[in-house]
């Protein structure tokens, strides 16, 4: 889509910048990467009142143009590089109206770059609630820019913001906020000539950051470096002088335009809540109870919709078998593709509920408290408080969680977080756990309110967090690093969750999960169906001839005979041969050749396990007796012992294997992308596989 104007959103973290982005673009948005780096780039389109279209780019949140992470460095690179394809025509600086003093530092820096600017004064509802009064007109006159008061969470003022974008000019009208040239006059003058700019603040920023900026030529870098030496430039002293000057400007501005009580009421209320929720004992108890409630809800609330989805796919398979002529294509469609998809689609309700809870925890501000609370514990095992975000995010998916480790400044802390995040129970493991738990754990309550299946699922999630912490501690002793980590996090005030945002988030994340998993599952289901439906040589033909002899047809009922033939064909198929090759290595873990096939196919993605089991047992079963994958697995018998295949020991052993094994090609790829070194994903895959095999072996041998 072509846009008439490109607009960048800039702001501190927790100013509601993403909410403004969502309010402007709605569902018309996409997520990618900035060129050459693995930093999320969110772009979307917005129709303006004058009939034109604006491309909105949501830049990473930052406290200033002096970056502390790779994400933050993107902001200055995009704004300063005249040839950057993402350089905006207009910048909307989103300010938290209830915390202007802190937010204005970034605004003054952006304004001095002389790009046209609009100020979106967000959270006006919160400012009014805290009795903070802002003279908007005077505020705008002193800044020299349009100022639009909004409450993005309530969609108040969004139309005015769009109108302001419509009427924004192409020239920057804001006044200089400080005398930049006074900080380093000779140096600024020299750099302006080197890069051919008339902007003194751009020249000063280049003096600070030229070593890390890709858009400067080698010659320009050398000349700037020489100018620094000639003028005895000290970056930290210059930054300190600039910051003091900016806060003097900000203090004068706020004195003239803002009236507020000595202590904000909302902060006091938040502090009172924090005394309980971040208490060194009760805080952890409450966090654990919240997790227990989440996992209980995942089981109990999803039961009815899961049954309906299950019945829908059973009906669909029946329609295909009854409506289409018998043959390979009908079997492929019904027993391959539909059976494979049903194994994942049925878990959509559970995944949606999980994402809804995560969205609520983030939206209310509680997730930030968890991060703060866990910092002390994290440091003892080689991590820091910011590691909690990827670890908690790992409950959804390891891939974006590993990408989110870019906010961890310390290299060693970041590497350890990357290495242990895949141990956290992701949503892809959820279908496997719920299927296996439903097979072997009774669905009844204990202590009146706790469902045993819910408790088992909670146990798997707790185990994943404990194992991640233990492995992190071991890696702390192994991996060497010289940097010293630090923890900076702002605790936002508590707010009610935005239910529309929760639904939006739940829908988008569930859709992404289903679409991405669906592609792999359909591909794997087709390959698997072929492998399970055909065998080497004349094996299938010989089986048919064998069971058509009178000693079988006279003494065995046709339905039973068909089942025996199907079972023997599966065992002699290409998939069966492959499973049998692996069986000697996995038999001590309690696995048979059918489970081994699922282990192979689910290397690409764990959730393929359920689809694989559905396909295998559909091929193996009677086409006239279509059941859910859980029913098929529950009725599966060991041909040697006649006992159920999925005993308590086998199911728990299998859950332990999936709890510790990597089994995710996407995670391997993203670890390489984030570390730029194949040794890290290789080491991660190796240690997780060894851990999975060992713990699964111990579990089965103890429980059988």
Give residue-wise pLDDT tens across range 486-512: 555 667 778 788 787 788 777 876 776
Residue 248 assigned to a binding site? no
Kindly indicate the confidence band of residue 173, based on its pLDDT and cuts at 50, 70 and 90.
Answer: confident
> What mean pLDDT is reported for the chain?
82
Residue 542 assigned to a binding site? no
Residue 192 assigned to a binding site? no
Residue 441 assigned to a binding site? no
Residue 327 assigned to a binding site? no
593-to-574, 597, 617, 651, 696 alpha-carbon distances in Å: 12, 6, 13, 15, 16
Residue 25 assigned to a binding site? yes
Whose CA is closest to 298, among 456, 514, 116, 80? 456
Residue 454 assigned to a binding site? no
C-alpha 302/C-alpha 104 separation (Å) is 46
391 lies in a domain? no
What's the token pair of residue 488?
């900076």
C-alpha 582/C-alpha 591 separation (Å) is 10
Secondary structure (DSSP) of 666-701 = HHHHHHHHHHS-THHHHHHHHHHHHHHHHHHHHHHH
What's the average model confidence in pLDDT over 292-320? 82
Per-residue pLDDT of 416-435, as tens digits, reads: 999 999 999 887 788 889 88
Residue 579 assigned to a binding site? no
109 lies in a domain? yes
What's the domain range around 102?
5-167
* CATH code of 42's domain: 3.40.50.300
C-alpha 556/C-alpha 536 separation (Å) is 27
Residue 633 assigned to a binding site? no
Residue 59 assigned to a binding site? yes
C-alpha 688/C-alpha 696 separation (Å) is 12
Residue 23 assigned to a binding site? yes
Residue 576 assigned to a binding site? no
- pLDDT at residue 94, rounded to an integer: 94
Higher pLDDT, 649 or 25: 649
* pTM check: above 0.85: no
C-alpha 578/C-alpha 570 separation (Å) is 11
520 lies in a domain? no
- pLDDT at residue 3, rounded to an integer: 79
Residues 400, 402, 403, 409, CA torsion sign: positive
**Could you tell me the maximum CA-CA distance found in the chain, to the nearest angstrom?**
104
Long-range contacts at 634-642 (CB < 8 A, ≥ 24 apart): 634/439, 636/594, 638/592, 639/567
What's the average model confidence in pLDDT over 525-536? 79
Residue 176 assigned to a binding site? no
Determine how many CB atoms are found less than 10 A away from the CB of residue 416: 29
Residue 328 assigned to a binding site? no
Residue 195 assigned to a binding site? no
203 lies in a domain? no
Cα 701 to chain center, whole Å? 36
What's the average model confidence in pLDDT over 37-66? 81
C-alpha 362/C-alpha 508 separation (Å) is 16
Whose CA is closest to 6, among 49, 39, 52? 52
437 lies in a domain? no
Residue 15 assigned to a binding site? yes
Our count of domains for the chain comes to 1
Q: At what angle do helices 574-586 and 593-601 cross, to 10 degrees?
A: 100
- pLDDT at residue 623, rounded to an integer: 43
- pLDDT at residue 387, rounded to an integer: 81
Residues 6+ apart with CB under 8 A from 333: 320, 324
Residue 22 assigned to a binding site? yes
Residue 123 assigned to a binding site? yes
Residue 562 assigned to a binding site? no
* Residue 41: pLDDT over 90: no
- pLDDT at residue 624, rounded to an integer: 44
Q: Compute, in degrees rounded to 10, the torsion defined by CA atoms 346, 352, 355, 360.
A: -150
Q: What angle do CA 501, 125, 259 make, to 5 degrees?
A: 150
8 Å CB contact between 69 and 18: no
Residue 16 assigned to a binding site? yes
606 lies in a domain? no
Residue 622 assigned to a binding site? no
Q: At what angle do helices 218-230 and 185-195 cross, to 10 degrees?
A: 160
Residue 51 assigned to a binding site? no
C-alpha 229/C-alpha 219 separation (Å) is 16
159-to-3, 48, 152, 166, 373 alpha-carbon distances in Å: 18, 9, 11, 11, 39
Least trusted range by pLDDT, from 6-20, 291-305, 409-423, 675-689? 291-305
Helix (H, G, I), strand (E, B) or coil at 443: coil
Q: What angle do CA 287, 290, 293 make, to 5 degrees?
A: 155
60 lies in a domain? yes
Q: Is 607 exposed, middle or buried (0-12, 13-18, 19+ CB in 10 A)?
A: buried
Residue 425 assigned to a binding site? no
69 lies in a domain? yes
């Amino acid at each position: 889509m072509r846009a008439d104007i490109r607009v960048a959103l800039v702001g501190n973290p927790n100013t509601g910048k993403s909410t403004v982005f969502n309010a402007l673009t709605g569902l018309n948005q996409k997520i990618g990467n900035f060129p050459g780096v693995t930093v999320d780039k969110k772009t979307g389109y917005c129709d303006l009142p004058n009939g034109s279209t604006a491309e909105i780019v949501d830049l990473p949140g930052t406290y200033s143009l002096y970056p502390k992470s790779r994400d933050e460095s993107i902001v200055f690179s995009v704004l300063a590089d005249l040839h950057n394809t993402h350089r905006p025509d207009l910048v909307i600086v989103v300010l938290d109206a209830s915390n202007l003093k802190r937010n204005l530092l970034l605004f003054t820096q952006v304004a001095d770059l002389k790009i046209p600017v609009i100020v979106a004064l967000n959270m006006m509802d919160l400012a009014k609630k805290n009795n903070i009064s802002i003279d908007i007109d005077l505020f705008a006159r002193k800044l020299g820019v349009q100022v639009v008061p909004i409450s993005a969470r309530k969609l108040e003022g969004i139309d005015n913001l769009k109108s302001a974008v419509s009427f924004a000019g192409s020239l920057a009208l804001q006044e200089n906020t400080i005398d930049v040239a006074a900080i380093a006059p000779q140096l600024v003058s020299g750099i302006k000539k080197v890069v051919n700019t008339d902007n003194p603040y751009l020249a000063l920023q280049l003096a600070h950051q030229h070593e890390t900026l890709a858009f400067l030529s080698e010659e320009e870098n050398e000349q700037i470096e020489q100018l620094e030496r000639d003028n005895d430039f000290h970056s930290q002293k210059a930054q300190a002088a600039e910051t003091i000057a900016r806060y003097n400007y900000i203090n004068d501005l706020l004195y003239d335009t803002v009236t507020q009580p000595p202590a904000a009421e909302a902060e006091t209320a938040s502090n009172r809540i924090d005394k309980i929720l971040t208490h060194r004992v009760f805080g952890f108890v409450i966090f654990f109870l919240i997790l227990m409630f989440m996992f209980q809800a995942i089981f109990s609330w999803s039961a009815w919709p899961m049954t309906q989805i299950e019945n829908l796919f059973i009906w669909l398979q029946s329609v295909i078998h009854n409506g289409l002529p018998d043959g390979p294509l009908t079997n492929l469609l019904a027993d391959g593709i539909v059976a494979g998809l049903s194994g994942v689609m049925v878990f959509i309700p559970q995944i949606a509920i999980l994402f809804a809870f995560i969205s609520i925890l983030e939206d209310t501000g509680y997730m930030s408290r968890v991060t703060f609370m866990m910092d002390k514990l994290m440091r003892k095992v080689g991590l820091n408080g910011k590691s909690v975000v990827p670890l908690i995010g790992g409950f959804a998916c390891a891939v974006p969680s590993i990408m989110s480790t870019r906010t961890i400044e310390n290299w060693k802390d970041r590497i350890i977080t990357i290495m242990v995040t895949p141990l956290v129970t992701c949503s892809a493991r959820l279908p496997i756990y719920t299927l296996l738990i439903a097979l072997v754990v009774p669905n009844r309550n204990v202590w009146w309110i706790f469902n045993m299946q819910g408790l088992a699922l909670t146990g798997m999630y707790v185990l994943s967090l404990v194992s991640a912490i233990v492995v992190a501690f071991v890696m702390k002793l192994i991996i060497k690093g010289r940097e010293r980590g630090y923890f900076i996090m702002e605790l936002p005030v508590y707010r009610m969750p935005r239910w529309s945002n929760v639904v939006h988030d739940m829908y988008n994340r569930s859709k992404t999960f289903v679409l991405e998993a669906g592609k792999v599952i359909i591909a794997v289901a087709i390959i698997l169906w072929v492998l399970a439906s055909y065998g080497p040589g004349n094996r299938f033909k010989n089986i048919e001839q064998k069971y058509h002899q009178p000693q079988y047809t006279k003494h065995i009922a046709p339905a039973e005979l068909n089942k025996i033939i199907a079972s023997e064909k599966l065992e002699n198929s290409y998939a069966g041969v492959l499973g049998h090759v692996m069986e000697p290595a996995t038999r001590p873990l309690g696995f048979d050749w059918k489970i081994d096939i699922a282990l192979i196919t689910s290397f690409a993605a764990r959730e393929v396990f359920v689809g694989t089991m559905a396909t295998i047992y559909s091929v193996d079963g009677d086409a006239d007796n279509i059941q859910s994958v859980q029913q098929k697995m529950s009725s599966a018998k060991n041909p040697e012992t006649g006992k159920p295949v999925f005993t308590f020991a086998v199911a728990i052993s299998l859950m332990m294997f999936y709890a510790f094994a990597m089994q995710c090609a996407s995670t391997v790829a993203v670890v390489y992308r984030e570390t730029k070194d194949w040794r890290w994903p290789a080491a991660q895959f190796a240690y997780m596989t060894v851990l999975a095999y060992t713990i699964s072996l111990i579990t089965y041998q103890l429980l059988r």
